[in-house]
Amino acid sequence: MQWTYLWNTGATTSCINVSPDVTTSYAVTATNQYGCAFVLNETVQVSSDAPPGVPVNLLPPNGAANVPNPVVLSWSPAPNATLYQVFIWQGPTMPQNPYAVTSQVSYTLFNLVFEQSYNWSVRAVNACTGVISPNSATQSFTLVHLPDLVVENAPVPPDTAFSGTSIAVDWTIRNNTGLAATGNGGWFDALYLSFDNVLDVNDIYLGAFQRPNALAPNGSYANSGEVILPDGLTGDFCILVRTDAYNAQAEANEINNVSVCGGIHIRLTPPPDLRVSTISLSGVAGNTAFQGATIGVNFTVENQFNGANLSGMTIGGQWYDRVYISTENVFNPLNATALTYGIYHSGNLSVNDTYNQSISVNLPSYISGTYYIHACTDAWDDEFEYIFENNNCTSSQAINIIALPQTRFYCF
Ligand SMILES: [Ca+2]
Ligand SMILES: [Ca+2]
Ligand SMILES: [Ca+2]
Ligand SMILES: [Ca+2]
């Protein structure tokens, strides 16, 4: 095969020797005797052995304040540089070792502290020769200031309220610095019921309310929320507000976010007292029944009167009654077998009001001897009854359950 060669330098030999001073691209076209041509390209990279220049045009500008965090440092490309060493420090002395080395002309710092001032400098490296430039001028910058959320004044609940009821609370949050606005992400103010004026683990969380917007330096906003007081409380308490309760907002001061005491006197809401006032059985002639028999259980549920201050209507308006059987004459949940699922009751009961339940149950087919039927109201405690939760079951007279004769069939 016969080839001819044509280089972009004009040479027509199959090989050329080159030693360019700058990065140069070479191309050769090879053509055979049939006119088929092939092109090859090659670039010879030339690195200067000249010393690198000193980085200039460092940003942020020297003395910049309120620099956002994370901080983006940048500079102009230095002649003959392939790498840059970035130095960052606080105090008078530049460290010996660079904080970072990069081939780029910018570097982002993620771990600096808000409101702090830093010095920085860059020097350029020609990695081919190992020659390092003198340091750039030392510059400084200060990171942004932080907002400081505080609860202004005491929150304002009603002076007096009943346990278990809804109350409205008003409060005001201030950004306690003139130096920085908050971020836009929003945060929550949480309300607690406290036995004293210090927020601690004994306090009762009542609810949280969002502040969706940023707050300007020295800005404030009024907030309010409806919360439900716990059941069964009585006495003097504090409502405490904690702003930025889940720490969504970095602040100059994170430990001043809880309000002083917003006092409230809680009066006990007179509770209902559900109980089974009567129970009778049917289908148990002579107080006996056969095992597996179906019997009737009739009982009356009453909201019992306990004196004017401790007698109230039910509130939830729905609960479940349930019938059990056991060998004990007092209901013991650890030793009783349920004969029913929950028997649904709907409708509130005023004090002294009653309703009747009449249901059929099947006695277990595997028991015999002396047993008692127990009727329990509000079996899953849907209705808060304060100190009257433990009288909700009433037991029947004893019944004697008689074993059926065993019947066996034999095949021969
Ligand atoms: Ca704060
Ligand atoms: Ca915070
Ligand atoms: Ca009760
Ligand atoms: Ca109850």
Assign 308 to helix, strand or coil. Answer: helix
Token digits of residue 178: 């003139």
The CA distance from 74 to 62, in Å, is 12
Distances (CA, A) of 318 to 282, 321, 345, 346, 389: 27, 10, 5, 4, 16
Q: Is it true that 64-143 and 149-267 share their CATH fold?
A: yes
pLDDT for 233 equals 95
| Shortest-distance ligand to the CA of residue 114 | 2
Within 10 A of 180 (CB to CB), how many other CB atoms are there?
A: 21
Token digits of residue 151: 């609860």
Domain ranges of the chain: 3-44, 64-143, 149-267, 274-402
Q: With beta carbons less than 8 A apart as the criterion, state whether 269 and 165 touch.
A: yes
Assign 335 to helix, strand or coil. Answer: helix
- Ligand 3 centroid from CA 393, angstroms: 8
The CA distance from 299 to 278, in Å, is 5
- Ligand 2 centroid from CA 254, angstroms: 5
Residues of the chain predicted below pLDDT 50:
none
- Ligand 1 centroid from CA 178, angstroms: 13
- Ligand 4 centroid from CA 282, angstroms: 28
* Spatial CA neighbour of 295 closest among 359, 341, 340, 355: 359
pLDDT for 184 equals 83
- Ligand 3 centroid from CA 276, angstroms: 8
- Ligand 1 centroid from CA 253, angstroms: 4
- Ligand 4 centroid from CA 225, angstroms: 28
| Main-chain phi, psi angles of 309, to 5 degrees | -85, -10
| Shortest-distance ligand to the CA of residue 151 | 1
Write the DSSP symbol of residue 162.
E
- Ligand 3 centroid from CA 164, angstroms: 17
Within 10 A of 46 (CB to CB), how many other CB atoms are there?
A: 12
Within 10 A of 110 (CB to CB), how many other CB atoms are there?
A: 7
The CA distance from 119 to 101, in Å, is 17
The CA distance from 58 to 115, in Å, is 21
pLDDT for 2 equals 86
Longest dimension (CA), the chain: 129
The structural architecture, per CATH, of the domain 274-402 is: Sandwich (2.60)
| Shortest-distance ligand to the CA of residue 248 | 2
- What does the CA dihedral 47, 53, 57, 59 come to, rounded to 10 degrees? 70
The CA distance from 350 to 185, in Å, is 49
**Residue pLDDT, tens place only, 29-67:** 999 989 898 999 988 877 778 899 999 999 999 999 999
**Residue pLDDT, tens place only, 118-140:** 999 999 999 989 999 999 999 99
Supply the CATH classification number for the domain 149-267: 2.60.40.10
The structural architecture, per CATH, of the domain 64-143 is: Sandwich (2.60)
- Ligand 1 centroid from CA 175, angstroms: 8
Assign 54 to helix, strand or coil. Answer: coil
| Shortest-distance ligand to the CA of residue 272 | 3
The amino acid occupying position 124 is: A
The CA distance from 152 to 243, in Å, is 10
pLDDT for 183 equals 86
The CA distance from 335 to 337, in Å, is 7
Q: Ligand 3 is a single-atom ion; what residues have CB below 5 A from it? A: 273-275, 385, 388, 391-392
pTM: 0.67
Q: Ligand 4 is a single-atom ion; what residues have CB below 5 A from it? A: 378, 381, 383, 385, 389
pLDDT for 29 equals 92
| Shortest-distance ligand to the CA of residue 147 | 1
- Ligand 3 centroid from CA 391, angstroms: 5
pLDDT for 43 equals 85
- Ligand 1 centroid from CA 257, angstroms: 5
- Ligand 3 centroid from CA 300, angstroms: 13
pLDDT for 48 equals 76
